[in-house]
Structure 1
Amino acid sequence: MPPHHPGEERTDTRARILEVAERLFRHYGYDKTTVADMARELGMSPANVYRFFASKLEIVEAIAVRMFEERHRHNLAIMAAPGTPSERLRRLLVENHRLSVETLTADRKVHDMVEVAMTQQWPAIETHLAQVADVIEELIRQGEAGGEFAVADTRRAAVCARQCFVSMMHPTLIVHCADDRERADAEELADFIIRALRHP
């Protein structure tokens, strides 16, 4: 049996803590779950949990990072998929809305957890937003090269497109805008953005 290195053991323990924490957050909610609850479920002391994470907020941040990394992998797969740049951009926007609805608002307890992450203004949030803009920018660049899009600055166009679509991806805005009788749906807004990119 190969030796178990301390670094690997630490990584495994961190992963276990995050898995248990996310399960408890989903079941009981962020506010009602304590580090002591996590420790009890893991069969360790709260002090041992604090060896890996300084606070419950830090645990939520790490869970958010995992969620954002998974979303980025999904977006990269869309970017690399077959289809024209405009088709893939439309799919990217609509899919991100669908995933946000499914993972953030279908389960209120998950929404509350992500709400904490969004209000903390952690670097992970900035990284996630930049990654979304990166993928949009690359699709705009490909569209420009093929004559589909005409923009003066691909980065600013990407940021504007992301910002126009934010009400379809931000968990709080999705909830708050749900009852707006004149709200555009994801497909309509995605088509609007793509049309805008086709005109200088």
Structure 2
Amino acid sequence: MRRPRGIPARMAEAAVPADTRLLAIAADQLKRFGPRHVTVVSIADAAGMTHANVYRYFASKAALIDAVAEQWLRRLEAIIAEIADAPDPADDKLERLLQAWARTHRELLEEDRNLFDVYCAATETSRPLIRRHRARMRQLIERVLDEGIVTTKFDPRDRERALAFISDAVYRFINPLTVRLDAEVPQYILGQRLAAMIRVILRALANGSV
């Protein structure tokens, strides 16, 4: 972010909360060096503070790394929430939502493999940040599904089964572990496969086959 003209760099940095600066530094070091080579001492040095001071904000290096991952998950949730809250028909929103969800995962895999691996590790162990993220994403999917039911775009026989069907159908494209397995698959092929699954989902929701 460009600071206002005339404000010294140190003053501009001082205006940023310490935990926010630490997260930014940790994210940069994680991307460049990977989680094994990130240390609290190096982050503290870059922030111009003692490593003991870092522990005032984050209990451990693991907690700091998880906070970086959760920050990314929050950005993903914001993207999905914006689509869920849009004034478009529910079927259009669900299609765009699922495409954005898959695309954002793929972009992280390609742009920041180290953070993506942290995300995978957190998913494998079902850490609290992942459980919170899943709950929030489920709420957003529920919002769109319920809107579709109210507006008669969707007519599922069972709401819970419909929710499960949506997540199962696109699991390959939104679970970081399977996204990583598909790292070498060309994006246009994955896009075609996802589009086919979305058509199946929308048809099943509309005709009440789930």
Same structural fold, with TM-score higher than 0.5 when normalized by the shorter chain: yes
Q: Which residue of 1 aligns with 2:207?
A: 199
What is the TM-score with the length of structure 1 in the denominator?
Answer: 0.85
Distance change (3 Å), C-alpha of 1:41 and 1:180: closer
Contact kept in structure 2, 1:104 and 1:111, CA below 8 Å: yes
Q: Distance in 2 between matches of 1:34 and 1:153?
A: 49
What is the TM-score with the length of structure 2 in the denominator?
Answer: 0.81
Distance change (3 Å), C-alpha of 1:168 and 1:185: same
Q: Which residue of 2 aligns with 1:140?
A: 145
Q: Which residue of 2 aligns with 1:88?
A: 93
Bigger CA drift: 89-98 or 116-125? 116-125
Q: Which residue of 2 aligns with 1:115?
A: 120
After superposition, residues 145-156 of structure 1 pair within 5 angstroms as 145-156=150-161
Pairs aligned (count)? 191
* Cα-Cα RMSD: 2.3
3-state SS, counterpart of residue 207 of structure 2? coil
After superposition, residues 1-200 of structure 1 pair within 5 angstroms as 12-178=17-183, 185-200=193-208
Contact kept in structure 1, 2:109 and 2:180, CA below 8 Å: no
Bigger CA drift: 145-154 or 94-103? 145-154
Bigger CA drift: 86-95 or 149-158? 149-158
Q: Distance in 2 between matches of 1:23 and 1:106?
A: 12
Q: Distance in 2 between matches of 1:120 and 1:103?
A: 20
- TM-aligned CA deviation for residue 56 of structure 1: 1.3
- TM-aligned CA deviation for residue 179 of structure 1: 5.4
- TM-aligned CA deviation for residue 96 of structure 1: 0.7
Distance change (3 Å), C-alpha of 1:133 and 1:155: farther
Equivalent residue letter for 1:134: Q
Contact kept in structure 2, 1:133 and 1:162, CA below 8 Å: no
Equivalent residue letter for 1:122: R
Distance change (3 Å), C-alpha of 1:164 and 1:17: same
- TM-aligned CA deviation for residue 178 of structure 1: 4.5
Distance change (3 Å), C-alpha of 1:25 and 1:179: closer
- TM-aligned CA deviation for residue 37 of structure 1: 1.3
Bigger CA drift: 84-93 or 134-143? 134-143
Bigger CA drift: 101-110 or 55-64? 101-110
- TM-aligned CA deviation for residue 22 of structure 1: 0.5
Equivalent residue letter for 2:67: A
Q: Which residue of 2 aligns with 1:6?
A: none
- TM-aligned CA deviation for residue 130 of structure 1: 1.7
**Unpaired segments of 5 or more residues in structure 2?**
1-13
Contact kept in structure 2, 1:104 and 1:114, CA below 8 Å: no
Report which structure shows greater RCO (CA 8 Å, sep ≥6): 1
